[in-house]
């Protein structure tokens, strides 16, 4: 039994764990930092769908290197952690023990499949979408020879999987309970457009229904049918269960830590758990929404990375005061050739939590003049508080610039900017890159919200 020591140990090699280790070492060069990861190679989680089509074409093209680790003097240990003991401050692997001063859980999330469908995962041809290199490799091989696919789940991963499988020549059907896909992430008028792009790309959608069983009718252990609540059934060769993820906290159980209702390890704004020597970041850590500070289900690699940085910088005391509190859900997806992004809270979610909000939608172009060769429709929706005009949410449809434009809206939310601030903000415009100066969509949309508020004050 080899015995090792490191001042800081981070368990987990995903984006959050990697950046946390690097940040901890750069912020505390005098400390030893060790990252313990189960696999030598990790995948870029959000690019998994693209390994199924010609965009990446293989798992090998989707691996993250840990080249930086050696360069900065951080240690990496590949191995499976079996047990954590907080009293002796020791981590147990099969053939090693690692003692530590500070510990960070970055153990991520595992696929969630409803108990009523878990038996289906035993059938050949039924898959979930875990962040596991070997699993995804075998899945790609299996799917290659098949034609008909059913995807269960209408979130980002489900829809991106459906579109890439369709792009690679499969007949793909998505089953969902709502009218439109991505219904939890976008308001209806935006989700409807994402929905239409998916249909245009050739993916079929069965709305207002639910998968109640996945079976091998012939009894040969190979999936051949999906049964729906409506009584309908779909013949298929492959089923993808993209029904979400849940915090992976097995190692953190029984250590006296507190957990949130959704299963994440409870942490403060600096990612410190109820034990001052234990931190948690990313999908395995509990999050709080930035408005009500109530628990949020957000699970994003970008959120994990931000949390990893915060933990890494402040693990030996607060060095870097956080000026923004809580988690902004901020994300982007491509549906075929159109990008859809969201930051903050949707109008529907705001109203459901009883917030008095006002919103507007502006439709323009992402180039100017609109005759520029690759001009594309650009739609911006802003959601603001009625009393103050403070911006609490934004949604964008457009070209590939959308991914950075939503980051601008994220910064506006973090800085508590109001629509009035947005109306006078200074932006850059260029024919090849943006909308026209007089009709820059974020500004135009803010003006529309202001006009609505003005008319509400009069009435």
Question: Which parts of 395-454 interact with its own copies (CB under 8 A)?
Answer: 399-408, 410-412, 414-415, 417, 420-421, 423-434, 436-438, 440, 443, 447, 451
Q: Which is nearer to its own copies, 72 or 352 (CB)?
A: 72
By CB under 8 A, the residues from 286 to 325 that bind its own copies are 300-306, 308-310, 313, 320-324
Q: Are strands 90-93 and 245-247 parallel, antiparallel or unpaired?
A: unpaired
Q: Which is nearer to its own copies, 209 or 414 (CB)?
A: 414
Cα separation, 66 vs 62, in Å, equals 13
Contact stretch for its own copies (CB under 8 A) within 166-174, 255-263, 331-339, 379-387: 331-339
Q: Which is nearer to its own copies, 231 or 369 (CB)?
A: 369
By CB under 8 A, the residues from 91 to 150 that bind its own copies are none
Binding characters for its own copies, 210-229, by CB under 8 A (x = yes): --------------------
Return the residue of 109, 193, 249, 332 that touches its own copies, per CB under 8 A.
332
User: Under a CB-based contact definition with an 8 Å cutoff, are residues 5 and 99 in contact?
Assistant: yes
Q: Which is nearer to its own copies, 152 or 413 (CB)?
A: 413
Q: Which of 456, 387, 411, 400 is nearest to 433 (CA)?
A: 400
Contact stretch for its own copies (CB under 8 A) within 3-11, 182-190, 218-226, 332-340: 332-340
Cα separation, 94 vs 137, in Å, equals 26
DSSP string, 302-319: HHHHHHHHHHHHHTTS--
Q: Which is nearer to its own copies, 1 or 67 (CB)?
A: 67
Q: Which is nearer to its own copies, 139 or 343 (CB)?
A: 343
Q: What is the C-alpha R_g of the chain?
A: 23
Tokens matching residue 277? 């020597």
Tokens matching residue 28? 């505390």
Count residues binding its own copies (CB under 8 A): 85
* 87 CB burial (10 A radius; 0-12, 13-18, 19+): exposed
In angstroms, what is the minimal distance from the CB of 322 to its own copies? 6
In angstroms, what is the minimal distance from the CB of 401 to its own copies? 5
Binding characters for its own copies, 13-52, by CB under 8 A (x = yes): --xx-xx--xx--x-----------------x-xx--x--
In 12-157, beta strands by DSSP E: 33-37, 42-43, 63-64, 75-78, 81-85, 90-93, 96-105, 109-111, 126-128, 148-152
Q: Which is nearer to its own copies, 34 or 46 (CB)?
A: 46
In angstroms, what is the minimal distance from the CB of 374 to its own copies? 8
Collapsing DSSP states into helix, strand and coil, what is residue 295? strand
Collapsing DSSP states into helix, strand and coil, what is residue 289? strand
Q: Which is nearer to its own copies, 22 or 385 (CB)?
A: 22
Cα separation, 128 vs 151, in Å, equals 10
Q: Are strands 225-228 and 96-105 parallel, antiparallel or unpaired?
A: unpaired
- The CB density around residue 191, as the number of other CB atoms within 10 Å, is 23
By CB under 8 A, the residues from 49 to 88 that bind its own copies are 50, 55-56, 61-64
Return the residue of 90, 111, 273, 341 that touches its own copies, per CB under 8 A.
341
Q: Which is nearer to its own copies, 5 or 420 (CB)?
A: 420
In angstroms, what is the minimal distance from the CB of 333 to its own copies? 6
Return the residue of 105, 127, 245, 331 that touches its own copies, per CB under 8 A.
331
User: Under a CB-based contact definition with an 8 Å cutoff, are residues 299 and 283 in contact?
Assistant: yes
DSSP 285: B
Q: Which is nearer to its own copies, 219 or 438 (CB)?
A: 438
Return the residue of 3, 145, 369, 457 that touches its own copies, per CB under 8 A.
369
- The CB density around residue 208, as the number of other CB atoms within 10 Å, is 11
Return the residue of 234, 334, 358, 453 that touches its own copies, per CB under 8 A.
334
């Amino acid at each position: 039994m080899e015995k090792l020591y490191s001042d800081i140990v981070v368990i987990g090699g995903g984006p959050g764990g990697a950046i946390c280790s690097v940040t901890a070492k750069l912020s505390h060069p005098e400390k030893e930092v060790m990252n313990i990861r189960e696999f030598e190679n990790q995948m870029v989680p959000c690019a998994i769908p693209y390994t199924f089509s010609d965009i990446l074409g293989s798992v090998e093209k989707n691996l993250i290197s840990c080249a930086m680790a050696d360069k900065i003097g951080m240690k990496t240990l590949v191995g499976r952690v079996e047990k954590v003991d907080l009293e002796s401050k020791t981590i147990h692997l099969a053939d090693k023990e690692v003692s530590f001063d500070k510990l960070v859980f970055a153990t991520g999330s595992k696929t969630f499949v409803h108990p009523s469908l878990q038996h289906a995962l035993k059938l050949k041809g039924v898959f979930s979408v875990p962040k596991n290199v070997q699993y995804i490799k075998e899945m790609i091989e299996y799917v290659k020879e098949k034609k008909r696919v059913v995807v269960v789940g209408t979130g980002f991963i489900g829809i991106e999987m459906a579109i890439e499988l369709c792009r690679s020549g499969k007949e793909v059907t998505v089953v969902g309970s709502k009218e439109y896909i991505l219904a939890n992430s976008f308001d209806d008028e935006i989700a409807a457009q994402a929905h239409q792009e998916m249909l245009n790309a050739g993916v079929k959608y069965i709305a207002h229904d639910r998968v109640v069983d996945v079976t091998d009718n012939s009894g040969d252990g190979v999936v051949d049918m999906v049964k729906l609540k409506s009584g309908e059934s779909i013949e298929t060769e492959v089923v993808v269960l993209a029904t979400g993820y849940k915090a992976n906290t097995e190692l953190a159980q029984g250590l006296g830590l507190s957990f949130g209702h959704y299963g994440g390890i409870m942490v403060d704004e600096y990612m410190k758990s109820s034990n001052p020597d234990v931190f948690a970041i990313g999908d395995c850590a509990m999050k709080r929404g930035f408005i009500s500070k109530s628990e949020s289900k957000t699970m994003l690699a970008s959120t994990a990375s931000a949390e990893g940085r915060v933990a890494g910088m402040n693990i030996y005391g607060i060095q870097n005061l956080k000026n923004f509190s809580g988690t902004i859900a901020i994300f982007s997806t491509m549906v075929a050739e159109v990008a859809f992004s969201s930051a903050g809270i949707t109008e529907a979610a705001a109203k459901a939590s009883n917030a008095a909000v006002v919103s507007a939608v502006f439709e323009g172009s992402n180039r100017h003049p609109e005759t520029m060769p690759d001009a594309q429709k650009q739609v911006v929706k802003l959601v603001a508080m009625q009393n103050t005009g403070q911006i609490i949410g934004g949604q964008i449809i457009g070209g590939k610039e959308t991914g950075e434009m939503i980051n601008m809206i994220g910064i506006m939310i973090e800085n508590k900017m109001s629509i009035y601030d947005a109306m006078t903000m200074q932006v850059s415009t260029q024919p090849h890159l943006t909308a026209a100066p007089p009709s820059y969509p974020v500004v135009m949309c803010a003006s529309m919200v202001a006009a609505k508020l003005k008319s509400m004050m009069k009435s």
